[in-house]
Structure 1
Amino acid sequence: MVCNKLKNDAQSSLASLEKRNITFMDTIIKDSGEAIEACQRFSSAALSTTEEAGLSSNDFISSIEYIRGIDADATERNNSVIAVCRVGNKRLEDDHCRKVDDILGSAAEKCNIRNGNEVYSWENKIESIKELRTSAFRELLLEFEEAGKN
């Protein structure tokens, strides 16, 4: 009888331990399943965000390349206009200098006045005519830039 009682107590204890272990294992399995699902959701969200960021980066890069192209075209057009203007300015300066030289030559011939035996030279007048010459293009450009700073 004592043996049967010990045997029954042992079986009862084993059954109780078995139930607790099964419940514990069920909890672990349930919790790990939830954790795996949460990791999968996180992984999916991270992948989606990464893909969206990649698309946004590609769009951004495309926009930058497009703007660079527009800027290069505008720069090329501006440089073309500037080159034409420089050639025109150079011609204008050369023509002006030639005309001033012609005026000086003509003035030197015609501006000597005789008063009796004395000849009055108009050298001082010719010097004032020389002041009418334009400065070199670079000097004009520097003056313009300095005036813009003020």
Structure 2
Amino acid sequence: MNRSTAPHRATEKLREVLDTDLDRTRVAAVHGAEQAVHGAELAWHRIAPHLDALATGAGHAVDRARSGAVSASRTVPGRSAAVVAALRGRIDAAEIERVRKHRRRRRAGSLVALAALVAAGVTAWGWWREQSRYQELFEEPPQAPDGV
């Protein structure tokens, strides 16, 4: 055996092994990339239906925030004017208590009206339920007396 051919054979063998490993690595990389693309597509298909709902929910939240800001911007000037008037002494504690009492009475009146409306609805529903009983719809008509 020639000494110059042994290193040459070893180099060739090493080249074959490295080429094989390189091919396997390329195949594994391509396979891994395909799996990553497939996983990304699956994730997209899972999340896509929820994106519309998320956008809609965010839109509703923005609308609610705007309406809250509008109502606050309408009430703040009146309240601040009342506070300034109270601090300057134009309104005394009795006036403030009278306004609070008026608000409580108005709220109580609204609750009483709502309770009366609910009671009337329940009563009407009960009457209608009694009127539409199944047995009464198919009751036999009263029989005429025998002597007539």
- Establish whether TM, by shorter chain, passes 0.5: no
Normalising by structure 2, we get a TM-score of 0.39
Normalising by structure 1, we get a TM-score of 0.39
Q: Which has the higher contact order (CA 8 A, sep 6+)?
A: 1
